[in-house]
Copies of this chain bind each other. A is one copy, B any other.
Amino acid sequence: MTKARKSLLAVLKEAVQPLSVADLVANPQIACNQATVYRSLRYLEQQGYVDSFVLHCTDHGTERYYCAVTEKSAHSHWFHCTVCHRFTDVGSCLLAEDLRRWESQYGFSITDHTFFLTGVCQTCKELTTSTG
């Protein structure tokens, strides 16, 4: 494990929410080129150290977000606030049995599923009503 890869994994392990490449590059603990960030994240994901998903938000476009994989982080799903752009973990996947049902019903092999919520978080709702 190289210095760049170690620092990326360390930052992702500390993070309380998924981080984009822009987030990582802006972090002073990450002292490597952006191309290295991309290459290292690909390596870390291939090795199973991190997980990622692609999210589109009108304000900041389409970006991939990364999370460290930990023993307990069993495939979480996220809510993304379209005002403050923070993520909230809404817990692990509730769809396991539906996935099996779809597999047998349609004959698929489901290797992955993408699920996330978007909307306005409580904090942003309160700010809007009190000052709007």
Task: Judge whether A59 is part of the interface by a CB distance below 8 angstroms.
Answer: no
A102 proximity list for chain B (CB < 8 A): 79, 90, 117
A113 proximity list for chain B (CB < 8 A): 115-118
Interface size on A, residues (CB 8 A): 33
Contact B125 A117 (CB under 8 A): no
Contact B114 A118 (CB under 8 A): yes
CA distance A51 to B82 in the complex (A): 18
Task: Judge whether A99 is part of the interface by a CB distance below 8 angstroms.
Answer: yes
11 A–B contacts, CB within 8 A, in A order: A54-B62, A79-B106, A88-B106, A90-B106, A107-B125, A108-B122, A112-B117, A112-B119, A113-B118, A114-B115, A114-B116
